[in-house]
Amino acid sequence: MRKKIAAANWKMNLTLEQGEKLIQGILDADVKLEDDREVVVCTPFPYLMAAKEMLKDHAHFFTGAQNCASEKSGAYTGEVSAEMLQSVQTDFVIIGHSERRQYFNETNELLLKKTLLAMEYGLKVIFCCGEPLEIRKENKHEEYVQKQLVETVATLSADQIENIVIAYEPIWAIGTGHTATPQQAQEVHAFIRSHIAKRFGNDVASQMTILYGGSCKPDNAAELFACEDVDGALVGGASLKVNDFTAIIRELVNSKS
């Protein structure tokens, strides 16, 4: 069964109190999620335990971190390891977000190391890919995304790939209000799925959850989720507001399987 996911990426926003209020508001909305729908809340590291405590009795609600270290443990001041995340019952971790690639110089090689460690410690990975505006303008976005996948998740084994959710996040759409059109999103999602099919076979590809990210809002979520290969969203700005994120969860619930 292919899962559909609404994932919140809070990035570096909110205090603990604000974050708890936000989660409580989402829970209070009491949207009924069927077996194939999930909500993942990716908080800053210090809030993961509190978030887990609030979500643990709510089926279909999961916590996620926004990064993890590329080394197992040791003298890496300031880093947070995959094992630490596992020890506070974190379910998911975002790896390869464009902000980390851009501001922290994370390369595909490093991202693969992080991905392998995350999986070793039982975390599911939301692996991000997506092109900058110049590449889109040159119409080379598929090639660009393919390289991001070939050097990372495409090297995994068939067993490992089951723990990966791919998020296509065109950089020009992140935080800009310029959402990709449903056609643009669908085109790249179908391309990603066909790439996964070539590498891992049709069964794996048809089970894979592929999220869209980049200015997903309540008023464009329905048309994005209606696309055959768009299985939900990784939401930044709109995930910080109870009403907006709840509306996006509702659109996910209403979208057909």
- Residues with a catalytic annotation lie at 97, 169
Residue nearest to ligand 13P according to CB distances in the complex: 236
For ligand 13P, the closer CB: 54 or 211: 211
The CA–CA distances, whole Å, from 107 to 102, 125, 171 equal 9, 16, 16
CB of 37 to ligand 13P, least distance (A): 19
d(Cα 71, Cα 162) in Å, to the nearest integer?
Answer: 22
CA atoms within 13 A on the CB side of 70: 13
Could you tell me which residues are beta bridge partners of residue 210? 166
Question: Residue 32 class from Cβ within 10 Å (0-12 exposed, 13-18 middle, 19+ buried)?
Answer: exposed
For ligand 13P, the closer CB: 3 or 199: 3
d(Cα 240, Cα 65) in Å, to the nearest integer?
Answer: 16
CB of 251 to ligand 13P, least distance (A): 14
d(Cα 234, Cα 10) in Å, to the nearest integer?
Answer: 10
Residues that bind ligand 13P (CB under 6 A): 9, 97, 169, 174-175, 213-216, 234-238
For ligand 13P, the closer CB: 43 or 215: 215
CB of 10 to ligand 13P, least distance (A): 9
The CA–CA distances, whole Å, from 246 to 104, 125, 214 equal 31, 23, 17
For ligand 13P, the closer CB: 19 or 214: 214
CB of 66 to ligand 13P, least distance (A): 8
